[in-house]
Amino acid sequence: MKNQRMLFAKRPFGEPEDECFRLDEADIPELEDNQILVKVCWLSLDPYMRGRMNDVKSYVAPMQIGDVMTGESTGIIVKSTSEKFAVGDHVAVHKGWQSYIICNDDEERLMKVNLRNGTLSEHLGVVGMPGRTAYFGLTEVGKPLAGETLVVAAASGAVGSAVGQIAKILGLRAVGIAGGPEKCQYVKDELGFDACIDYKAENFEQELMAACPGGVDIYFENVGGTVTKAVVKLLNPGARVPICGYVSNYNDEDITKSESPFDILKQLNEVPEHRFFVVFEWVDRYKEATEKLGQWVSDGKLKHKECIGEGLENAPNFFRGMLKGKNFGKQLIKIADED
């Protein structure tokens, strides 16, 4: 039994090309005391991974050449020397793109998965990190009030789709922004947003303005660039802007020279309350959020779509596609069957 790993081989200049990744195989060592061996079934692909490939200062250290590509997985424990975890337990763990994972049972980013809250794949999406990001980013940073108007970009994606639906559950008007008629129709008809505007349309700004007749109280930022410039014109006094990311800039050749959402917001006459946040700020409340999200999924109030690729060797191609918005829903890679 060998462990397949996708290694970080070269820093990208713009879009990550094939040479930035290297697939290798390694022996699986024997477990030490208080360790587990996880057979990975699902790997999550997320936009933040692109930022970790740059050699720039951020909220976490950049990856180094030769590291296993960063990322979260879910799977099944197949060996254990731990009293906390047994063979057959389902877990989520943030240890990168690989087919088997050894970790200590006190690893900070290791969680038991309760399948009553959702499937293994859903614990990487709607009830996992993206769902928790939506939940805490909206409720703790966005500070929503019933009757307000929320706009969220990348509205058909894993985070954005949850943000808008949670806003509706809390009594807000939810306006999404997505790329193309198919995604916009899904966001409006399937997810129940009040409106969804196609940022690729020629009359994007006019349609956005028409969808927000009372202005915008919360803008949940996922995209940046021209989308942000259009939304900020509609911000009401007292508006809040939780900044989750700005994927439109992630493939820029030098992101430190890019115009970020912070730059755009600071040019306004009245600068709204805004900050960048990461979901780890609320790590002590993960269980609370996962259970609440799982209940909303069970009740049919929180819907989601998964975009599934197969095989670790194909992960780089799906990763590039996700950064361009080619995925429809949460981008996952199936690594192994759940048996």
User: Is the pLDDT assigned to residue 252 strictly greater than 80?
Assistant: no
Query: Does the residue 297 lie in any domain?
Result: no
Higher pLDDT, 51 or 44: 44
pLDDT number for residue 289: 97
Position 308 scores a pLDDT of 97
Could you give the CA distance from residue 112 to residue 287 in angstroms, rounded to a whole number? 10
* Domain co-membership, 134 together with 52: no
CB 205 within 8 A of CB 230: yes
Residue 296: inside a domain: no
Distance CA 48, CA 71 (A): 9
b/e burial code for range 93-113 (CB count within 10 A of at least 16 → b): bbbbbbbbbbbebeeeebbeb
Structure confidence by residue, pLDDT tens digits, 160-188: 999 999 999 999 999 999 999 999 999 99
Sequence letter at residue 308: I
Does 86 share its domain with 210?
A: no
Bridge partners of 335, per DSSP, are none
Domain around 62: 2-125+304-334
Model pLDDT for residues 209-225, shown as the tens digit of each residue? 999 999 999 999 998 99
Same domain, 176 and 258: yes
pLDDT at position 1 is: 84
Distance CA(324)–CA(251), nearest Å, equals 9
Q: How many angstroms from the chain centroid is the CA of residue 92?
A: 15
pLDDT, position 325: 83
pLDDT at 238: 97
Q: Region 261-272: what's the mean pLDDT?
A: 92
Please indicate, yes or no, whether residues 40 and 82 belong to a single structural domain of this protein: yes
Q: How many separate domains does the chain show?
A: 2
Q: Is 276 found in the same domain as 159?
A: yes
Specify the CATH number for the domain of residue 314. 3.90.180.10
**Please, is 300 exposed, middle or buried when counting C-beta atoms within 10 Å of its C-beta (0-12, 13-18, 19+)?**
exposed
Evaluate whether residue 292 is within a structural domain: no
pTM here? 0.90
Same domain, 172 and 30: no
Are 159 and 55 within one domain?
Answer: no
